[in-house]
Amino acid sequence: MSQAWHEIVLEVLKANEIRLIPYVPDNVLKPLIAAIHADPFFTAFTTAREEEAVGIVAGGAMAGMRGMVLMQTSGFATLANVLASLPCAFQIPVLLMISERGTLGEFNLGQAAVWRTMRPTLEALAMPHQVITRLDECGFIADRVIRQALMTQQPAALVLSPLLTGAKASPVKAGS
Amino acid sequence: MATTAHNAKRLHRFDATKRLVARLQREEAVIGGIGHSNFDLWAAGHRPQNFYMLGSMGLAVPIALGVALAQPQRRVFALEGDGSLLMQLGCLATVATLRPANLAILVMDNGTYQITGGQATPAAGGADYVAIARGCGIAGAAWAADEADLERLIDNALATDGPHLIGLKLDDQGPAAQTERDPPQIRDRFMRGLGTKTSKLPG
């Protein structure tokens, strides 16, 4: 039987010594968060804002402890200033994992609206990013994006598409 | 009687920063927050373990927390302005929950956004950062009564388990110099200072 996406991600994080995992929770990320908390390899905790988590991972990275921030799309939308002026400007490999909400059956108009800002923001920051849509590509993309970020001293984002995670659409029918 | 926000002496930021730096004997890391907080750290004399922020207002404490978690044997100080801390007050709750024994926070409280012209912060109604920190769970948070008390509190932060938070009431004296703004150089030197990067290039 093939591994679930979150099992693959967990293995990639461990293989690349990514230990420091501050996050703002998301329902789709729940199995990954649970597995990270269950494994003493990781130092994982919630933060009040995603900006705070970016600062923590930047500090950790400079001091020799690699990390990744977990968040959802709306959380990423709070980050343009700190990404531009901290990991981008200082060339620190801060890694982001973004659970993609707002597309492919989103029921919340606010999430759908903020989703439209994600790719333009990543592109405007010239920040390397890859969207993971397929289980058979998940390990390769996650591993290569992380390794490139570490080797080139650049921040990078991994976007987990609903095509990968099976994030549920609203059970409510349109117009009902 | 404990020092309160109202009876703390207003200190000069540059003098207070020099007093901190003079007491650092063991390669302690210092994260200087945006603007005048890191300008005066720079003016106090560059140390290899200093990091000077450029933007990312409010992240001095989170950056220091990341360093503290990564290197638990090293003492780490965050120098954060009051306006900056207001942008990221939630970080005090995170620090209180994680309880990093090696982290100390200095809140440089002049009540204003000095670098943009001295406008009053929204804490003008009387918000008390030490009380907020205690409310978050940083039990030992304290205002420095005067210069001697500041030195006592710094010595305490160097010698005992934290997390520590020291509030400094400041006067309106401007910074003594301006930090050189070259982020990759600052990061490179900081990492060499922390022992996380070695290079044959002269640094």
Q: Do B67 and A89 touch (CB under 8 A)?
A: no
Delimit the domains of chain A by residue range: 5-165
Name the average pLDDT for chain A. Answer: 96
Question: What distance in Å separates residue A91's CA from the closest CA in chain B?
Answer: 6
Q: What is the pLDDT of residues A31-75, one digit of tens each?
A: 999 999 999 999 999 999 999 999 999 999 999 999 999 999 999
pLDDT at A149: 98
Mean pLDDT of B95-104: 98
**Residue of chain A minimizing CA distance to B53:** A86
Is the CB of residue A22 less than 8 Å from the CB of residue A50? no
Q: What is the pLDDT of residues B13-68, one digit of tens each?
A: 999 999 999 999 999 999 999 999 999 999 999 999 999 999 999 999 999 999 99
pLDDT at A1: 61
Q: CB neighbours of B22 closer than 8 A, spacing ≥ 6?
A: none
Is B93 an interface residue toward A (CB < 8 Å)? Answer: yes
Coil, strand or helix at B142: strand
pLDDT at B6: 82
What is the rounded distance in angstroms from the CA atom of residue A96 to the CA atom of residue A69? 5
Q: pLDDT at residue A78 above 60? A: yes
- Residue A174 — very low, low, confident or very high, per pLDDT cuts 50/70/90? low
What is the rounded distance in angstroms from the CA atom of residue B79 to the CA atom of residue A125? 28
What is the rounded distance in angstroms from the CA atom of residue A52 to the CA atom of residue B60? 9
Q: Do B88 and A51 touch (CB under 8 A)?
A: yes
- Residue B172 — very low, low, confident or very high, per pLDDT cuts 50/70/90? very high
What is the rounded distance in angstroms from the CA atom of residue B171 to the CA atom of residue B165? 19
Q: Which CATH class is domain B13-194?
A: alpha beta
- Residue A167 — very low, low, confident or very high, per pLDDT cuts 50/70/90? confident
pLDDT at A15: 98
Backbone angles phi, psi at B58, to 5 degrees: 100, -5
Q: pLDDT at residue A175 above 70? A: no
What is the rounded distance in angstroms from the CA atom of residue B133 to the CA atom of residue B126? 15
- Residue B115 — very low, low, confident or very high, per pLDDT cuts 50/70/90? very high
Question: What distance in Å separates residue B4's CA from the closest CA in chain A?
Answer: 27
Q: Do B71 and A45 touch (CB under 8 A)?
A: no
Assigned fold of A5-165: Rossmann fold (3.40.50)
| Interface predicted TM-score (ipTM) of this complex, two decimals | 0.98
